[in-house]
Amino acid sequence: MDEQPDTEPRPAAGAGAPLDRRAELSEFLRSRRARLKPEDVGLPDFGRHRRVPGLRREELAQLAGVSVAYYTRLEQGNGRNVSAEVLDSIARALRLSDAEHAHLTHLAKPKQHKKKPSARAQQVRGSLRQLLDTMDGVPAYLVGRRSEILAWNRMAAAVFGDWGELPQAERNWARMVFLRPAYRDLFADWEQKAIDIVCQLRMDAGCYPDDPRLSALVGELSVKSEDFRRLWATHDVREKSHGLKQLHHPLVGPLQLYFESFRLPDDPDQALVVYHAEAHSASGDALRLLASWGTDATTAAPTA
């Protein structure tokens, strides 16, 4: 017999209120189960009408080797006393990525994995600032928790905007991408950039469910941006450490830049992100042109 669709409303985080870990766990498991079909996991599909998308709870429980009642309690947000072995089995049954598996563990076993957010601002080592300053030919910046921009070099300002002109609270990728129209014009694939940001914020929420600044950010964006609400509701998590970004720069036109992201060994909450263009490419010529203009290049950047 098909399970009944769950119509119980889920609480939303208020401004600064901690995210509801049990609701997060419940919705994450439901969303991962909904994306799987019986044929995806080698189960027969007899063509009966399904009242809910994806696998049924009993099918997922069978794949994970746990009782239906046990899995149902977990999906209702009760992860108390769940073992790492059971979480591993459920992660395999749901075909979770490494990032999704880690997120599930953070949500289900917060006592062992929850981190306490620091009340003080994230600190940037002086040597890192010096390193950024020496990277003349490539845009580079340091990003921390909640997608906050912590430090950047001159080329990053020329490409992405002079973040020094913004109040400190506005130096945040999520706020800029979702609330500043100029960034929709800058990123050729704005949707993918927005997805990447939301996925990272979800991972932060799993690690820091009691972070009031993160909850306030999510609450603010949920009120002000329909696109953010839509993407946040997917419960997707992933970490993108490298890739390609297509930009439409207001001064030099199209830019095709590759990026690499490096987590700091002594502070994994901070990552150094460096962009570069292919050698002897039009994008490489455009970067050199921006570098030659110096601070004048920031006058047409998105923050201007």
pLDDT score of 229: 96
Contacts 24+ apart (CB under 8 A), 50-56: 50/2, 51/2, 51/3, 51/4, 51/5, 52/2, 52/3, 52/5, 56/2, 56/3
pLDDT score of 134: 93
d(C-alpha 149, C-alpha 143), whole Å: 5
User: Cβ neighbours of residue 118 under 8 Å, at least 6 residues apart?
Assistant: none
Helices in 65-189 by DSSP H: which ranges?
68-75, 84-93, 98-108, 110-113, 126-134, 154-160, 173-179, 181-186
- Domains annotated for the chain, with CATH where assigned, are 21-113 (1.10.260.40), 126-300 (3.30.450.180)
pLDDT score of 203: 92
Burial class (CB in 10 A: 0-12, 13-18, 19+), 33: buried
pLDDT score of 54: 84
Does pTM surpass 0.95?
no
Taking every pair of Cα atoms in the chain, the longest distance, rounded to a whole number of angstroms, is 69
pLDDT score of 38: 80
Geometric angle at alpha carbon 199, from 197 and 200, rounded to 5°: 65
pLDDT in tens, the chain (304 residues): 344 444 333 434 444 566 788 899 999 999 999 998 887 777 766 556 666 678 889 989 999 999 999 999 999 988 778 888 999 999 999 999 999 999 999 898 876 544 565 556 788 999 999 999 999 889 999 999 999 999 999 999 999 988 999 999 999 999 999 999 999 999 999 999 999 999 999 999 988 888 899 999 999 999 999 999 999 999 999 988 899 999 999 999 999 999 999 999 988 899 999 999 999 999 999 999 998 886 666 666 676 6
d(C-alpha 204, C-alpha 59), whole Å: 30
d(C-alpha 33, C-alpha 177), whole Å: 30
